[in-house]
Amino acid sequence: MWGGRFAEGPSAIMREINASIPFDKALWRQDIAASRAHVAMLGACDIVSGEDAEAILAGLDQVAAEYEANGVPEDWALEDIHMTTESRLAELIGPAAGRLHTARSRNDQVATDFRLWVRDAIDQVMDGLQGLQRALVTQAGEHNGSIMPGFTHLQIAQPVTLGHHLMAYYEMVSRDVSRFADARERLNQCPLGSAALAGTGFPIDREMTAQALDFDRPTANSLDAVSDRDFALDYLNAAAQCSLHLSRLAEEFVIWASQPFGFVRMADSLSTGSSIMPQKKNPDAAELVRGHAGRITGCLVSLMVTMKGLPLAYSKDMQDDKPPVFEAANLLCLSIAAMTGMVADSTFNTSRMRQAAEMGYATATDLADWLVRQADIPFREAHHITGAAVKLAEGRGVALDQLPLADLQAIDSRIDDRVFAALSVEASVAARNSYGGTAPEQVRKQVAGARKTLGMEP
Ligand code: ARG
């Protein structure tokens, strides 16, 4: 393609290090679409004849059909998907193929193709995340009143509802959705027509190509357009943050599924056995989601470091932008699908969860709050009195509400028998009815709001 200036061809090493076709063949659909938009514009602007434009369009259709049927051939001598397609086009339609590259360069071509690919990847992730949200909301609705221990420092802190816990992940995923939507909006400008770096002397119509490819507008600065990969970084950043959320949820399942917890029974379809220990059922899918978060974050770091310190405009380093994005996209889609299945198909052992919530004096705060409300004791003093009650109960190995009233009154005479109603785990969660709190009533409201947002039946 650029042989005119060279006396010798590239060495084998040059060919190998230069070739991006092994991975950028994944861009073939986008490459054909962008070429179609470009040549239609060249024809409309009389830069190539209507006849040549028609021949090129028909030829591109044929190349696309071949790729669809047989895959993209991988010839390192042709470097990348752009040259592979153009060379096949030339074989099919002859010299007219050489007019396709008028008023463009591989630099604006790859920037356009890659934006189109990332845009599709965002749309796919958004679909997946919506499925995960639906699964979370469905389980949360069913378990709005299921009581479990809430933790801080992974120590039992206060009783919460499982629905509330699951809706916390719904919130995280909602922020992920908005991050991807935001990335998509910023991405949606068309670099095509920026040519190598400086624009072109041909009378092109950039609005026309932008529209044909469903972009909102053409990019404003050709130097920036061919060397900008912020859109890929925005995507990877959103992917990395999303993967961290998925990893945290996966970790909950790993803990909950372990025998000492026994909060959840994971579906067989997302578990594995052991080749040596017949009794084992391992949460491998959850562990791999946790592991994939590390790889996805690595992809983000990889592209950030690639871009750091590149002067304007295009440099070949930027060819290395694609593998981390492809890898992250693949891992993220798998992770979302695995977590959606895990949430939807797991069975929660609610009686075990409730039992655990009764351990560890989880309603101690409720005793302190009762003293504040019923006996008008300042919270700090109530906290102190409650500490003494916990110490006594712990010494006897009983729960707070199993202490005889006389013993409680010996600690503080203002305690009366109404206190016992406040000490059950049910009373504890029902009392936390502040906006966003764990009370079943609040969870039902959160779930109803989320179902509406997701377009689910009430
Ligand atoms: N394969 C190249 C890439 O992915 C296409 C752009 C090549 N441009 C160039 N000036 N050599 O970045």
Residues 108-146: tens digit of each pLDDT: 999 999 999 999 999 999 999 999 999 999 999 999 999
Q: What is the pLDDT of residue 2?
A: 65
Q: Is it the case that residue 422 has pLDDT exceeding 70? A: yes
Q: Is 114 in the pocket of ligand 1 (CB under 6 A)?
A: no
Of ligand 1's atoms, which has the minimum distance to the CA of residue 314?
A: 10
Task: Decide whether any atom of ligand 1 lies within 6 Å of the 24 Cβ.
Answer: yes
The neighbour count for residue 427, using CB atoms within 10 Å, is 16
**Which pLDDT score, from 0 to 100, does residue 1 have?**
64
From 316, 320, 326, mutation site for ligand 1 pocket: most ligand atoms within 8 A of C-beta:
316
Say if residue 75's pLDDT is above 70.
yes
Residue bearing the CA closest to ligand 1, atom 12: 319
d(CA 341, CA 135) in angstroms, rounded, equals: 8
C-alpha angle 340/341/345, rounded to 5°? 125
Measure the CA–CA gap between 90 and 95, rounded to whole angstroms. Answer: 6
Could you give phi then psi for residue 50, rounded to 5 degrees?
Answer: -55, -35
The DSSP H or E segment spanning 451 is helix 440-453
Q: What pTM does this model have?
A: 0.94
CA torsion sign, 202 to 207 to 212 to 213? positive
Q: What residues contact 348, with CB distance under 8 A and at least 6 apart?
A: 139, 143, 146, 162, 263, 264
153: annotated active-site residue: yes
Q: Which residues fall within 8 angstroms of residue 220, CB to CB, at 6 or more apart? A: 189
* Residue 152: strand pairing partners: 155
Report percent pLDDT > 90 for the chain. 90
Rounded Cα distance, 278 and 424, in Å: 40
Ligand 1 pocket check: which of 74, 76, 107 to mutate, most ligand atoms within 8 Å of Cβ?
A: 107
Query: Is the peptide bond between 368 and the residue preceding it cis, with omega within 30 degrees of 0?
Result: no
For ligand 1, the distance from its centroid to the CA atom of residue 319, given in whole angstroms, is 6
pLDDT reading at 276 higher than 80: no
Nearby residues of 358 by Cβ (< 8 Å), 6 or more positions away: 399, 425
According to DSSP, the β-strands at 347-348 and 264-265 are antiparallel
> What tens digit of pLDDT does each residue of 188-213 get?
999 999 999 999 999 999 999 999 99
pLDDT score at 4: 77
Identify the active-site residue in 258, 274, 315, 351.
274
Among 117, 243, 87, 111, CA closest to 176: 243
Does the beta carbon of 314 sit less than 6 angstroms from any atom of ligand 1?
yes
* pLDDT surpassing 80 at residue 217: yes
Rounded Cα–Cα distance for residues 371 and 305 (Å): 57
Other CB atoms within 10 Å distance of the CB of residue 252: 18
* SS3 state at 273: coil
CA geometry: angle at 222 spanning 219 and 223, to 5°?
Answer: 125
Whether residue 325 has its Cβ less than 6 Å from ligand 1: no
Rounded CA gap, 125 and 84, in Å?
A: 29
Q: Are 83 and 1 in contact (CB under 8 A)?
A: yes
What letter represents residue 10's amino acid? P
**pLDDT, tens digit, for every residue of 26-69?**
999 999 999 999 999 999 999 999 999 999 999 999 999 999 99
Amino acid at 134: R
Count of all residues that appear for the chain in the document? 458
Active site annotation includes 274: yes
